Amino acid sequence: MSTLSDKAADGRPATGSDAPAGGAEPSAPARDSRVGLWRMLLRDRVATAAAAVLSLIVLTAVFGPLLVGSAATEQHLDNTNQPPFTFDDGWLGVLGTDPLGQSVLARLVVAARTTFSVAAPAVALALAIGALIGMWAGYHRGLRETLAMRVADIIMSFPSLLMAVVVLYVFSPSVANLVVVLAITRIPVYLRTARAESTELQSRLFVDAARTFGTSSSAIIRRHVFPIVLPTLLTLATLEFCYVMLAESSLSFLGIGIQPPDVSWGLMVSQGRSYLQTAWWLTFFPGLAIIVTTVSATVLAAWARLATDPAQRWRLTLPRRARHRTRTAPAPQEAQS
């Protein structure tokens, strides 16, 4: 992390001292760079696909439950454990049915909302608290920094799942408790990152300049530190979303996360486990849903990290064709434009 930000600090590609004048980061207006970001995303087919899939999943989580209506809880005891990929019972049966005759597809859609309603607030909460404390600690250094880092170390040195197990066992598993526990265990991640960047920034000249004008430290953090730290934190949050989702699934799987009659992807895997030999689709599809969501988010985060790092951005601009050396005679002059 530090090597990346060091390079970014240079503000120019780390490779080659003789970068061309019109190189990777011309002083294009900020408005332009946003358009450029879109174009860059569209150029990377894998990242585009990931973004599309993720948008689809988010839309499903938000609007899907309205669409499937009560299908997720309707029991059809005459139609249990139907295998997937048949349209005999309409499109809701395409992913099979469970031992109560409920549509797996409908349940997946409803579970998506539960899964997201745990993961999204947990990530947002951890991000907000971690970023605030981290920037504050990194900006002021000294005792405040040591204290914040110590606490972060304590939380990090303890396996998060165990902490969640203990806490949820005490305070009974509910969505709110899940959110709080998952947020607390993930705060140190943002705290450390925000601190590292803010420590680096507070020694920079533009912060010094602001300080000589008598700007208050909270205003400096808000205006000068936060905007620079934000892209890194958002990329991190995307990855953390995956982590939190996996943690929620694990807890639900262990029986101390989401409780029936609510349903989440992890809980679905757990519930389908005993039917593994007779109805594999009960565990397979929820697991697949977790993987597809996580992979998409990871791909997108990896892309975003590259795209927002001036020292790395050039990698995205390479043409996709195999880059073997051209040994042909001198290239035609009009190749330049």
Report the residue number, 92 or 98, with the smaller CB distance to other proteins: 98
CB of 312 to other proteins, least distance (A): 8
CB of 151 to other proteins, least distance (A): 9
**Closer residue to other proteins in complex, CB, 71/265:** 265
Residue among 168 and 221 whose Cβ is closer to other proteins: 168
* Least distance between other proteins and beta carbon 78 (Å): 27
Q: Nearer Cβ to other proteins, position 102 or 271? A: 271
Beta carbons within 10 angstroms of residue 37's beta carbon: 14
Amino acid letter for position 312: Q
Minimal distance, residue 208 CB to other proteins, in Å: 25
Four-CA torsion 260, 263, 269, 272, nearest 10 degrees: 60
> How many other CB atoms are there within 10 angstroms of residue 4's CB atom?
14
Three-state SS annotation for 18-86: CCCCCCCCCCCCHHHHHHHHHHHHHHCHHHHHHHHHHHHHHHHHHHHHHHHHHHHCCCCCCCCCCCCCC
Distinct helix (H) and strand (E) counts, the chain: 13, 0
| Dihedral Cα 123, 124, 127, 129, nearest 10 deg | -120
User: With respect to other proteins, which residue has the nearer C-beta, 34 or 315?
Assistant: 315
- Minimum CB–partner distance for residue 209 and other proteins (Å): 27
